[in-house]
Amino acid sequence: MGTVKSTTSAGRMKSKLKSKSPLDRMLEVFVYLSMIVVTVLTIYPFLNVLAISFNDSVDTVRGGITIWPRQFTLRNYEMIFSFSGLITGFKISVLRTVIGTLAGLISGSMLAYTLARREFQARKFISTFLAITMYVSGGLIPGFILMKDLHLINTFAVYILPGLVSAFNVFVIRSFIDGLPYALQESAKLDGANDFTIYWRVILPLCKPALATVALFLAVGQWNSWFDTYLFNGSNESLTTLQYELMKILQSTTTSATNSQDAANMAQRMAQVSPESVKMAITIIVTVPILVVYPFLQKYFVKGMTLGAVKS
Amino acid sequence: MKAITLKTENGYKKTEQSKRTAWKVFKNQKYLYFMSIPFVLWVFVFQYLPLWGWTMAFQKYRPGASFFEQKWVGFEHFRTLFQDDHFYQVLRNTLAMSFMGLIAGFIIPVAFALMLNEVRSQVMKRFVQTVSYLPHFVSWVVAAGIVTKMLSTDGGVVNSLLMSLNIIDQPIQFMAQGQWFWGIVTGADIWKETGWNAIIYLAAISGIGPELYEAARVDGASRLRQMWHITLPGIRPTIIVLLIMSIGHLLGTGFEKQFLLGNHLVIDYSEVLDLYALNYGLAMGRYSFGTAINIFNSVISLILLFAANGIFKRFTNESIM
Given a contact cutoff of 8 angstroms between Cβ atoms, the answer to whether A152 and A232 are in contact is yes
Q: What is the mean pLDDT of chain A?
A: 81
Residues of A in contact with B195 (CB under 8 A): 42
Nearest to A64 among B128, B155, B282 (CB): B155
- pLDDT band (50, 70, 90) for residue A100: very high
Tell me, what's the pLDDT at B263?
A: 85
A259 touches chain B (CB under 8 A): no
Q: Is the pLDDT of residue B102 over 80?
A: yes
Beta strands in B172-272 (DSSP E): none
Instruction: Kindly determine whether residue A24 and residue B131, on different chains, have CB atoms separated by under 8 Å.
Output: no
In tens, the pLDDT along B205-226 reads 888 888 888 888 888 888 888 8
Residue B96 has pLDDT above 50, yes or no: yes
The CATH number of the domain holding residue B279 is 1.10.3720.10
Distance CA B71, CA A91 (A): 45
Contact assessment for residue A80 and residue A273, using Cβ atoms and an 8 Å cutoff: no
Q: Residue A10: exposed, middle, or buried by beta-carbon count in 10 A (0-12, 13-18, 19+)?
A: exposed
| A contacts of B259 (beta carbons < 8 Å) | 227
Residue A42 has what pLDDT? 92
Decide if A213 contacts A300 (C-beta within 8 A): yes
Residue B278 in contact with partner chain A when CB distance is under 8 A:
yes
Straight-line distance from the first to the last Cα atom of chain B, in angstroms, rounded to the nearest whole number: 30
> Looking at residues A254-279, what average pLDDT do you find?
54
Residue A71 exposure: Cα atoms within 13 Å on the Cβ side: 12
Sign of CA dihedral B47, B49, B51, B54: negative
Cα-atom radius of gyration of chain A, to the nearest Å?
27
Q: What is the pLDDT of residue B15?
A: 58
Is residue A284 over pLDDT 50? yes
Q: Which of A257, A245, A265, A247 is nearest to B264 (CA)?
A: A257
- Say if residues B22 and B10 touch (Cβ distance below 8 Å): yes
Per residue, the 3-state secondary structure of A179-219, as one string, reads CCCCHHHHHHHHCCCCHHHHHHHHHHHHCHHHHHHHHHHHH
Q: Dump pLDDT digits (tens) for A177-199.
A: 988 888 888 888 888 888 889 99
CA distance A165 to chain B (A): 7
At A229-242, the pLDDT tens digits run 998 988 888 888 98
Q: Which residues pair with B60 in a beta bridge?
A: B71
Which positions ≥6 away from B275 have C-beta within 8 Å?
A: B90, B255, B258, B259, B262
Separation CA A53–CA B210 (nearest Å):
48
Asked whether residue B255 is assigned to any structural domain, the reply reads yes
Nearest-Cα distance to chain A for B211, in Å, is 19
Q: Looking at the complex, report in whole angstroms how far the Cα of residue B127 sits from the nearest Cα belonging to chain A.
A: 9
Q: In this complex, do B50 and A139 lie within 8 Å of one another by their Cβ atoms?
A: yes
User: Which residues make Cβ contacts (< 8 Å) with residue A125, sequence separation at least 6?
Assistant: B6
Return the amino acid letter for A13: M
Q: Do B302 and A136 touch (CB under 8 A)?
A: yes
**Domain span at B142:** 84-316
Q: Tell me the C-alpha distance between A62 and B9, whole Å.
A: 76
Does the beta carbon of B228 lie under 8 angstroms from any beta carbon of chain A?
A: no
Query: Is B39 inside a domain boundary?
Result: no
Beta bridge partners of A72: A55
Closest in A49, A115, A133 to B149, CB measured: A49
Q: Is residue B248 classed exposed, middle or buried when 0-12, 13-18 and 19+ CB atoms within 10 A define those classes? A: buried
For residue B25, what is the nearest residue in chain A, using CA coordinates?
Answer: A121
Nearest chain B residue (CA) to A37: B128
- Flag if B155 and A295 touch (Cβ within 8 Å): no
The separation between CA A32 and the C-alpha centre of its own chain, rounded to angstroms, equals 28
Instruction: Report, as an integer, the average pLDDT of A165-182.
Output: 88
- Which CA distances in Å does B192 have to A40, B101, B140? 14, 12, 9
pLDDT value of residue A13 = 43
Distance from C-alpha of A183 to C-alpha of A118, rounded to nearest angstrom:
12
Query: Of the candidates A264, A237, A240, A265, which has an alpha carbon nearest to the alpha carbon of residue A251?
Result: A264
The residue-averaged pLDDT of B107-112 equals: 92
Cα(B97)–Cα(B270) distance, integer angstroms: 9
Instruction: Give tens-digit pLDDT for A206-234.
Output: 988 889 889 988 998 999 999 999 989 88
Instruction: Tell whether the model's pLDDT for residue B235 goes beyond 70.
Output: yes
Q: Is A181 left (phi over 0), alpha (psi -120 to 50) or beta?
A: beta
Cβ(B142)–Cβ(A246) below 8 Å: yes
Q: Which residue of B has its CA nearest to A251?
A: B260
Query: In Å, how far is B44's CA from the nearest CA of chain A?
Result: 9
Model pTM? Answer: 0.83
In order of start, what are the domains of chain A with their CATH numbers? 2-53 (no CATH), 79-310 (1.10.3720.10)
Partner B, chain A 125-184, Cβ-Cβ below 8 Å:
125-126, 129-130, 133, 135-146, 148, 150, 161-162, 164-165, 167
Separation of alpha carbons A286 and A167, rounded Å: 28
Percentage of residues of chain A with pLDDT beyond 70: 84
A22-53 helix and B157-164 helix, angle to the nearest 10 degrees: 120
Q: What are the beta bridge partners of residue A55?
A: A72
Predicted confidence band at B41 (pLDDT cuts at 50, 70, 90)?
Answer: very high
Helices (H), chain A: 2-18, 22-53, 57-61, 75-81, 84-116, 123-132, 140-149, 167-178, 183-190, 195-197, 204-206, 208-224, 227-228, 242-254, 261-269, 275-311
Count of structural domains within chain B: 1
Interval A69-93: pLDDT, tens: 888 888 888 888 777 778 888 899 9
Check whether A254 has a pLDDT greater than 70: no
| Model confidence band, residue B320 (pLDDT cutoffs 50, 70, 90) | low
Residues in chain B closer than 8 A to A194 (CB atoms): 31
pLDDT bracket for residue B106 (50, 70, 90)? confident
pLDDT tens per residue across span B120-138: 888 998 899 889 988 998 9
Q: Which of A18, A24, A27, A141 to mutate to test the interface with B (most CBs of B within 10 A)?
A: A141
Residue B90 lies in a domain: yes
The answer to whether B237 touches B314, Cβ cutoff 8 Å, is no
Chain B hits for A279, Cβ within 8 Å: 145, 149
Distance of CA B235 to CAs A100, B113, B122, B230, Å?
36, 11, 21, 9
Neighbour count for residue B235 (Cβ, 10 Å): 23
CA distance readout (Å), B221 to A23, A66, A187, B112, B149: 11, 44, 53, 22, 46
Q: Where are the alpha helices (DSSP H) in B249-316?
A: 256-261, 267-270, 273-277, 287-316
